Homo-oligomer: A and B are copies of this chain.
Amino acid sequence: MAKTYKDIQRMTGLSLSTISKYFNGGSMRPENRVSIERAITKLDYRMNPFASGLKSRRSRKVGILIPELTSTHHSLITSEVCQHLREAGYDSVVCDCHLDQAIERDALLFLLDKMVDGVITIPLNQRGDHLKEAARREVPVVLVDRLASEFRTDAVIVDNVSAGGMAAEALLAHGHRRIGLITGLPDIYTMRARAQGFQSALIQSGVALDPALTREIEFTVDGGYQAAMALLTMREPPSALFCANYDLMLGMIMALNELGLRIYEDISVVGIDDLTLSRVIKPRLTMIMQPMQEIAAQASRLMMERLEGPVPGIRLVELPTELIQGASIKRV
């Protein structure tokens, strides 16, 4: 049978309220503290989270709501966030909405009914209307990667505009002028921002935008493959390519392999995200790196601060991206 405060009381002779104070960090006589601690270890006592939650109205659970867990970027962030939360004593209840906005909404309601103390999400619905229900129930929300147009709250994003800009500049600096851009559909915040940064950089360098060189497509491996195939089989193909997303990039790599095009020799490439596969592509890609561990750490931090006490205002953490020099850009 599980032990309770009563068992500790029996061993120490202290009242239940004193024992509670011990667990909830009040001040008390050192000898009592010691005696409670001794009882805890001797009894192998563990707090009953139901009883605790019933009174305190806190579940010490956080919901993680993700568009697609099998996407490497998402699974890495999820994994890191879960670990941070666990280390702080919080459960992470993960919901993958499979890129379906109806599931996203349902899963959020599910989490709220399960009394999560907070929600960390990469929102799929870019308006973020579904999140208003969380606000209504006073459950804090932290956005990751993307902002929501109709729901302002704490968020961690990277500077996507300059990420796109850096990619363009790296290629421009090597003399490229016909540069293909493979990006996601513009209803995704990150994709829009990266494409915009990329295109601004071209314009600033006096390169006219050729609409035929920009492919907006669902950001999946298959999407990247299709887009790259289309670009590379044009009558006048680009001399360089930038993919605005890791999965798109993988698809592009597959297309290059299929067409027998060699990176660097035949086509210059700027990639994104230094995840597993990028590490084994040869030659080493020049790429835009997002600080993914840091994104996860910041998101966890923002959430935990809200959970520990009231935080005034809305916080937006914008992290820088970095250009990693590889050997995938040829001078033309």
Interface residues of A in 212-235 (CB under 8 A from B): 220-222, 225
Contact (Cβ within 8 A) B82 A96? yes
Q: What 7 A-B pairs have minimum CB-CB distances, sorted nearest first? A: A50-B54, A50-B53, A254-B280, A69-B79, A79-B96, A258-B282, A94-B94
Contact (Cβ within 8 A) B86 A110? yes
CB neighbours of A16 from chain B (8 A)? none
Nearest-neighbour CB distance to chain B for A251, whole angstroms, equals 6
Contact (Cβ within 8 A) B98 A82? no
Q: What 8 new A-B contacts, CB under 8 Å, besides A92-B95, A222-B276?
A: A48-B54, A50-B53, A68-B79, A82-B96, A92-B93, A94-B94, A221-B277, A221-B279
Contact (Cβ within 8 A) B221 A276? yes
CB neighbours of A275 from chain B (8 A)? 70
Chain A interface, >50% SS class: helix
In angstroms, Cα B279 to Cα A76, docked, is 22
In angstroms, Cα B64 to Cα A295, docked, is 23
Nearest-neighbour CB distance to chain B for A313, whole angstroms, equals 26
In angstroms, Cα B70 to Cα A107, docked, is 22
Q: A50-B59, A79-B96, A280-B222 are in contact. Are A91 and B114 (CB under 8 A)?
A: yes
Give the interface of A toward B (CB within 8 A). Answer: 46, 48-51, 53-54, 57, 59-61, 64, 68-70, 72, 75-76, 78-79, 82-83, 86, 91-96, 98, 107, 110, 113-115, 220-222, 225, 247, 250-251, 254-255, 257-258, 275-277, 279-282
Contact (Cβ within 8 A) A69 B61? no
Nearest-neighbour CB distance to chain B for A305, whole angstroms, equals 22
Nearest-neighbour CB distance to chain B for A316, whole angstroms, equals 27
Contact (Cβ within 8 A) A113 B221? no
Using CB atoms, name the residue of chain B closest to A72: B70
In angstroms, Cα B53 to Cα A174, docked, is 64
CB neighbours of A276 from chain B (8 A)? 70, 220-222, 247, 250
Q: Pick the contact of A69 from B59, B78, B250 — CB < 8 Å?
A: B78
Q: Pick the contact of A280 from B110, B114, B225 — CB < 8 Å?
A: B225
Nearest-neighbour CB distance to chain B for A76, whole angstroms, equals 5
Q: Pick the contact of A94 from B54, B78, B250 — CB < 8 Å?
A: B78
Using CB atoms, name the residue of chain B closest to A247: B276
Contact (Cβ within 8 A) B82 A95? yes
CB neighbours of A53 from chain B (8 A)? 50
Using CB atoms, name the residue of chain B closest to A256: B257
Using CB atoms, name the residue of chain B closest to A91: B93
Nearest-neighbour CB distance to chain B for A279, whole angstroms, equals 7
Q: Pick the contact of A257 from B46, B60, B279, B282 — CB < 8 Å?
A: B282
In angstroms, Cα B225 to Cα A113, docked, is 46
